[in-house]
Amino acid sequence: MKKESGRLKGFQRFLREEEGMGTVEIILIIVVLIGLVIIFKTQLRSLVETIFEKITRDSRTVMS
């Protein structure tokens, strides 16, 4: 019984420890961003292509 209570205390201390929380939070944010990119891939590609076409078109008028 004593061994189990020591493990339980160690586990509780591990749960309260906040030392690695920054890393976990960053990984979760990256996972969410990757998921959003995968979900909206076609819309993002279309938006980026439109933006680059506009930049190219406008740069031609400036160069003329």
Torsion of CA 53, 57, 62, 64, to 10 degrees: 140
37: Cβ–Cβ under 8 A, 6 or more apart, which residues? 44
State the pTM of this model: 0.49
> So where are the chain's domains?
21-64
> Residue 18 corresponds to which tokens in the numbers above?
């906040």
Asked if residues 44 and 37 have their Cβ atoms less than 8 Å apart, the reply is yes
pLDDT digits (tens, 9 = 90+) for 8-30: 787 778 777 766 667 888 899 99
pLDDT at res. 18: 65
pLDDT digits (tens, 9 = 90+) for 19-62: 666 788 889 999 999 999 999 999 999 999 999 999 999 888 87
